[in-house]
Structure 1
Amino acid sequence: MPLAPEISLHLAADSAGLFDSAGGEFRSDEPPPFWAFVWAGGQALARFLLDHPQTVAGRRVLDLATGSGVAAIAAAKAGAAEVAATDLDPASEAAARRNAAANGVTLSAPAEAPDVLLAGDVFYSPTVAPEMARQMRAARRKGAEVLVGDPGRGYFPDRLFDRIAEYAVPVPAALEEAETLVTGVWRMR
């Protein structure tokens, strides 16, 4: 992975697009394989956690909408006491477990109340963004530290967050129509 070479992931080829496995078409009956790519927000979170292990060391971590599991894996490598990764797509959770095993770390069942909630690149649509914000606010009210990696997606509620880091993240042009995205790591207020 470009921004965090300490982590190995099983991913689609850089030239692959999100809808290539569906013949280039969106199919509402099965989610696209978001987990087959490492998105800019997840990469930024992973780099941040690897560089600032005290953020998660000894704490219970939940990676919400985990995708490939990159942020969860980084949290485990940074010394989190327990790391869980959840996603609406069961194929994503399976991919995250495979990627975790490839990195010599284990993902557990989600804790009732995590100490740290992670989410990378989750504010990409007008239907998903409000639900993500709701879940993050609920975790924050219960005392969790909420960290988000976001490259400026259109539905990111920046008024709820403070930027704590920023990275130039290499990304596949087939996904983003760019080779690099400036991506922030944000802490919920």
Structure 2
Amino acid sequence: MPDRQRRIDPAEFIKANMRLVPVPALAEIRFYTAHPGSGLSRLIDREDDADEAAAEPQPPYWAYAWAGGAALARYILDHPMTVAGRRVLDLGAGSGIVGIAAAKVGARQVIAAEIDRNGVIAIGLNAAANGVAIAVVNDDITKGSPPSVDLVLAGDVFYGQDVAERVMPFLNRCFAAGIEILVGDPGRVHLPRSRLRLLAEYDVPDFGDAKDAAARPSGVFRFETEPGG
């Protein structure tokens, strides 16, 4: 890897090359988001740096607002008693907007779990920009036991089959341990609808939508019933 790429500081890069703007449908929260000139590929490790003609890698998920997370954050801001005084886990936190919403309205503790190391940096910057404190775990916690929390917030964790198959056993363990679980999702194909009860819907844009695309309803659900129930 060229030395110039090794010397990139993720925090300085994010602050210099991304825009700190309100989250769509969440004027109360600002986050660092990508734009066409951000050059995010410079933050992504490449296995073959000699191939300068290679297509730019897919932008990191943490650099954009996703519909499920936006809907879940909106629900929390509108219903602060959902998190007030509670220990909260933001699972697959991405940009951290769900955890930030929880911290802003009185959660006792917020833990954000994110496996992308640049996402971890972004969460810290986004939390600071919103004047809240969040503990970030840079690990795939779905492999382990339920954490010591009262509530799991899971925004956009069913966007792919492999992710859903990893997340569901973890959520089942959390549910069995008596931990409340709220899910935010725009209705993706791997959403386990038989296990969910709809609480609210919000019209929010989604990651990957065209700039002028109409916002679509995204749901906030409570995870309920035992497997097969």
**TM-score for the superposition, normalised by structure 1:** 0.87
> Per the alignment, in what secondary structure is the counterpart of residue 134 of structure 2?
coil
> Per the alignment, in what secondary structure is the counterpart of residue 118 of structure 1?
strand
Is the 2:103–2:132 contact (alpha carbons within 8 Å) kept by the matching residues of 1? yes
Which of 71, 84, 93 lines up with 2:120 in the alignment? 93
Counterpart residue number, 2:129: 102
Which of 26, 30, 41 lines up with 1:8 in the alignment? 30
Counterpart residue number, 1:37: 64
What runs of 5+ residues in structure 1 fail to find an aligned partner?
27-31
Is the 2:24–2:65 contact (alpha carbons within 8 Å) kept by the matching residues of 1? no
Q: How does 1:1-189 map to 2 (within 5 A)?
A: 1-13=23-35, 21=41, 23-25=55-57, 32-108=59-135, 112-171=147-206, 175-177=208-210, 178-189=213-224
Deviations 1:46-100 (A, max 9, x none): 1000000000000000000000000000000110000010112121122111100
**Percent identity (aligned):** 45
Counterpart residue number, 1:29: none
> Per the alignment, in what secondary structure is the counterpart of residue 10 of structure 1?
strand
CA deviation after TM superposition for structure 1 residue 168, in Å: 0.6
Distance 2:216 2:115 in 1: 26
Provide runs of 4+ in structure 1 moved above 3 Å: 19-26, 109-112
Deviations 1:80-134 (A, max 9, x none): 0000101121211221111001000001266932101011111011111111111
Is the 1:71–1:120 contact (alpha carbons within 8 Å) kept by the matching residues of 2? yes
Is the 2:114–2:136 contact (alpha carbons within 8 Å) kept by the matching residues of 1? no
Is the 2:68–2:218 contact (alpha carbons within 8 Å) kept by the matching residues of 1? yes
> Per the alignment, in what secondary structure is the counterpart of residue 172 of structure 2?
helix
Is the 1:9–1:99 contact (alpha carbons within 8 Å) kept by the matching residues of 2? yes
Is the 2:88–2:150 contact (alpha carbons within 8 Å) kept by the matching residues of 1? yes
Is the 2:61–2:94 contact (alpha carbons within 8 Å) kept by the matching residues of 1? yes
Deviations 1:9-56 (A, max 9, x none): 01112x68xx97373445xxxxx5110001001100110000000000
Equivalent pairs counted in the alignment come to 180
Q: Which has the higher contact order (CA 8 A, sep 6+)?
A: 1
Distance 2:57 2:133 in 1: 35
Is the 1:66–1:72 contact (alpha carbons within 8 Å) kept by the matching residues of 2? yes
Distance 1:183 1:24 in 2: 30
CA RMSD of aligned residues (A): 2.2
What runs of 5+ residues in structure 2 fail to find an aligned partner?
1-22, 45-54, 138-145, 225-229
